[in-house]
Structure 1
Amino acid sequence: MTSSASGRPLRADAVRNRAKVLAAAEEVFAGQGTAAPTEEVARAAGVGIGTVFRHFPTKESLLEAVLVALLERLVAEAEALRSAEDAGEAFFGFFTRVVAQAATKHAVTEALAEAGVDAHAASGRAGPDLKAALGVLLERAQEAGAVRGDVGPAEVMALLAGMSYAAGRAGAHEDVLKFAFDGLRPRP
């Protein structure tokens, strides 16, 4: 359960407002960049600016929460895909979605760095959890014969980081992903 700054559990309406603010912030920052005013986030969420600042006292705390929420969603998605019938499709589809969300993650991470916040530390357990969940997807895809057996989690994370960085800078291109995936697939 989400709690307030005082440690008390939030009321149901406060939990809903917090979720609306986070969703709106992700949408606003993805569309307008992290320099978008917090007032725009409040407007998009349908709440007052006081509600935004009650949950997130600074823009940096809002950006941190957006980053953590994004990573936690990816972890949940990867964990849900562990039992997918087509392990190869689960792996490659998840990889594609991570790269597609890279521009938002990159913008938030850069804004946090500019504010002096360590995004890696701010992400808490979500980063290692994402790496572990991706490792399970990789292992299952390898067992299914969809991914080369000589590729390890470190190589996949490096490729994912590189593709995500490129997508954040120049936009994701399906052809580039296709070439990367061809390199991950087993050779006849």
Structure 2
Amino acid sequence: MESAVDRLLDGPTPRADARRNVERLVAAAQAAVDEVGTAVTAHEIARRAGVGIGTFYRRVPSREALLEAVLAVAIEELTERARAAAKADDPWPAFCSFAADHVRLRATSCGLNEALGGAGGLALADRIDEFRTEFRALVRRLQLAGVLRAGVTYRDVAFALAGVVPQLRTLGMTADRTQWRRTLRIVLDGLRAP
């Protein structure tokens, strides 16, 4: 799988300092996308990377291109995990592992959660379509193995897993950092065939 840095360094091999700046910008963008989401500005990414805004625009084509490169890697990682889970000999444990990875990534990255929800205005449709295809194949595998509750569709599973990502507050309570794990166990118990 191609890294975000390699996606941005298309063309002749850059000088070592230029490559380091791109690496710093990618790392800063990953952290900012996780914390702030897809609305993070180029100035904020440059500040986090410790470079000026001029260096930002010399090293990456645009803020959008940088965010797309970072999020594409995360979506491709989820796609590969869904593909591997669909091929596993024992589909239910493989699905549970995939579901935990999927929800953890969505719960810890505002930007990934936004991108998979269709927000952010970034050009990620092809990657999301590929993920959707592999996700659907995984759910079909569960259905064929008889381990998914009857009548549950791939749409049901997708929305159930997306719904596991907790809101920060409800009914006067604040979610702790691991609430998603407990909620995921409850959802998985509900999805599994009796």
Query: For residues 125 and 138 of structure 1, do their structure 2 counterparts lie closer, same or farther at Cα, with a shift above 3 Å needed?
Result: same
Query: For residues 83 and 29 of structure 1, do their structure 2 counterparts lie closer, same or farther at Cα, with a shift above 3 Å needed?
Result: same
Give the conservation status (yes or no) of the 8 Å contact 2:139–2:154: yes
CA distance in 1, matches of 2:182, 2:119: 33
CA distance in 2, matches of 1:76, 1:93: 13
- Identity fraction in percent: 29
Amino acid at match of 1:122: A
Give the conservation status (yes or no) of the 8 Å contact 1:42–1:52: no
Give the conservation status (yes or no) of the 8 Å contact 2:33–2:109: no
Q: State how many pairs are aligned.
A: 174
In the other structure, the counterpart of 2:13 is 11
In the other structure, the counterpart of 1:177 is 184
Gaps of 5+ in 2: 170-174
Q: Which has the higher helix share?
A: 1
CA distance in 2, matches of 1:163, 1:178: 10
CA distance in 2, matches of 1:123, 1:162: 21
TM-score normalised by L of structure 1: 0.70
Among 33, 36, 51, which residue is 2:36 paired with?
A: 33
RMSD: 3.6
Give the conservation status (yes or no) of the 8 Å contact 1:91–1:137: yes
Query: For residues 176 and 3 of structure 1, do their structure 2 counterparts lie closer, same or farther at Cα, with a shift above 3 Å needed?
Result: closer
* 2:125 alignment partner, SS class: coil
Query: For residues 180 and 59 of structure 1, do their structure 2 counterparts lie closer, same or farther at Cα, with a shift above 3 Å needed?
Result: same
In the other structure, the counterpart of 1:101 is 105
How far did 1:110 drift? Answer: 5.5
How far did 1:181 drift? Answer: 0.7
Give the conservation status (yes or no) of the 8 Å contact 1:151–1:184: yes
Gaps of 5+ in 1: 112-116
CA distance in 2, matches of 1:55, 1:28: 18
TM-score normalised by L of structure 2: 0.68
* 1:125 alignment partner, SS class: helix
